[in-house]
């Protein structure tokens, strides 16, 4: 309580808090409220009919399954990339570090076209997979590739500073007590990285759920197979079915919020457990 009072007595706190709440209301709360209000025009029966439609459920399943798979891949490989960038020095390290941020700078539509050209059955990389009867482009696997591409920086940039702060003395002390490399990583390094890694996973997962530009060119967009929910929303908007589009968006929002809330709760629980 004393800490809150100390902060509240700082000059300009009330004004800064007012601007913060106003900004969040304009950017987040009002748009989300209008989304729910538009979907409410369908009524509960109409909303339920849209939300539980066979095609909508199939697109939601494709969206969340591929987003989760891509986030898991990014959690693993993002940790590896961050480890290499922090723990090793090698020629071209700054170039590799800059390449990590490339998905941030590259327009997602350009990334989608490029990935589709690479992994198409006659593409530079796709024809090697096609020789073994593995099809990547125009399948859910292609969606995972695109979502992995756009989500990698979130994990790397979240884990990298935390890994850099891990003291080497702690690892050396554990090694001097007879711990092997795997034990040092599992008992010393990973507990410190786990909250940041979970945060990076959540960011990559949330980013993948709403991705559109990089996916539509490589997905194939086949209903019930490789059609994502954002594409179905765009299709309904093109048909002037605004209420139906917002209904699907509300379902995505509620599922995403529940999953992210669960991840944040798990992160809070793990941090509390680590403090004890």
State the average pLDDT over residues 127-147: 91
Rounded to the nearest integer, the mean pLDDT of the chain is 85
Domain coordinates in residue numbering, the chain:
43-275
pLDDT score recorded for residue 104 = 87
CA angle 58, 131, 211 (to 5 degrees): 35
First-to-last alpha carbon distance for the chain, in angstroms, is 22
What secondary structure, in 3-state letters, does 165-193 show?
Answer: HCCHHHHHHHHHCCCCHHHHHHHHHHHHH
CATH topology of domain 43-275: MetI-like fold (1.10.3720)
Q: Tell me: the pLDDT tens digits for 193-229?
A: 888 898 899 889 989 998 888 898 898 888 899 999 9
What global pTM score does this model have?
A: 0.84
The residue that leads in pLDDT, 1 or 80, is 80
Q: How far apart are CA 187 and CA 19, in angstroms?
A: 44
The confidence band for 62, taking pLDDT boundaries of 50, 70 and 90, is very high
CB contact at 8 A, 228 and 219: yes
In this prediction, what percent of the chain has a pLDDT beyond 70? 89
Task: Quote the pLDDT of residue 177.
Answer: 64
Tell me how far apart the alpha carbons of residues 42 and 31 are, in angstroms, rounded to a whole number: 18
Both tokens assigned to 86: 């922090």
pLDDT at site 15: 80
Sign of CA dihedral 115, 204, 73, 136: negative
Cα–Cα–Cα angle for 145, 237, 253, rounded to 5 degrees: 60
Question: Residue 154 in contact with residue 74, Cβ under 8 Å?
Answer: yes
Is the pLDDT at 230 greater than 70? The verdict is yes
Of 149 and 177, the one with more pLDDT? 149
Rounded CA gap, 32 and 229, in Å? 18
């Amino acid at each position: 309580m004393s800490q809150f009072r100390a902060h509240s007595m700082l000059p300009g706190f009330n004004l800064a808090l007012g601007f913060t709440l106003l900004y969040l209301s304009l950017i987040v709360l009002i748009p989300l409220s209008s989304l729910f209000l538009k979907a409410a025009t369908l009524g509960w029966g109409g909303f339920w009919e849209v939300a539980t439609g066979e095609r909508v459920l199939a697109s939601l399943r494709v969206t969340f399954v591929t987003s989760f798979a891509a986030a898991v891949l990014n959690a693993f490989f993002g940790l590896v990339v961050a480890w290499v960038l922090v723990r090793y020095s090698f020629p071209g390290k700054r170039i590799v570090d800059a390449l990590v941020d490339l998905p941030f700078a590259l327009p997602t539509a350009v990334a989608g076209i490029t990935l589709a050209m690479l992994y198409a059955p006659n593409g530079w990389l796709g024809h090697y997979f096609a020789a073994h009867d593995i099809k990547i482009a125009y399948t859910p696997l292609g969606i995972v590739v695109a979502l992995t591409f756009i989500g990698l920086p979130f994990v790397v940039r979240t884990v990298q500073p935390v890994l850099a702060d891990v003291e080497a003395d702690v690892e050396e002390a554990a090694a001097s007590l007879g711990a092997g490399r795997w034990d040092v990583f599992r008992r010393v390094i990973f507990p410190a990285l786990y909250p940041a890694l979970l945060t990076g996973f959540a960011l990559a997962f949330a980013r993948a759920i709403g991705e559109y530009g990089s996916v539509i060119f490589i997905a194939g967009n086949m209903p019930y197979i490789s059609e994502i929910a954002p594409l179905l929303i765009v299709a309904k908007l093109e048909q002037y079915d605004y209420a139906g589009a917002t209904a699907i968006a509300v379902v995505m929002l509620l599922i995403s919020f529940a999953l992210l809330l669960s991840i944040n709760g798990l992160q809070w629980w793990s941090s509390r457990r680590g403090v004890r």
